[in-house]
Amino acid sequence: MDKNTKLIKEVLNAIAIVMAIASIVLGYFGIELANTVPLLGIGLFAIGINQLIKK
């Protein structure tokens, strides 16, 4: 695994964590699901890419 792949993984991990936290916070404050769902989607997408890179 080269340096760039590792960097991309780190960035995706950070994005996934931020999106997860953001979706939880938005959900907690009862902001419409319309705002929360795309954040969760992006977070899951980042996690999915991360899983592909790991293989």
Number of domains the chain is built from: 1
Which pair of structure tokens corresponds to residue 21? 């936290």
pLDDT of residue 21: 80
Q: What is the pLDDT of residue 50?
A: 76
- pLDDT higher for 23 or 35? 23
Average pLDDT for 25-37 = 63
- Domain of residue 13 covers 3-54
State the maximum Cα–Cα separation within the chain, in Å, rounded to a whole number: 42
Confidence of residue 20 (pLDDT cuts 50, 70, 90): confident
Encoding tokens for residue 7? Answer: 């960097």
Q: Which long-range contacts (CB under 8 A, 24 or more apart) does 39-46 make?
A: 42/15, 43/15, 43/16, 43/18, 43/19, 44/16, 46/12, 46/13, 46/15, 46/16, 46/19
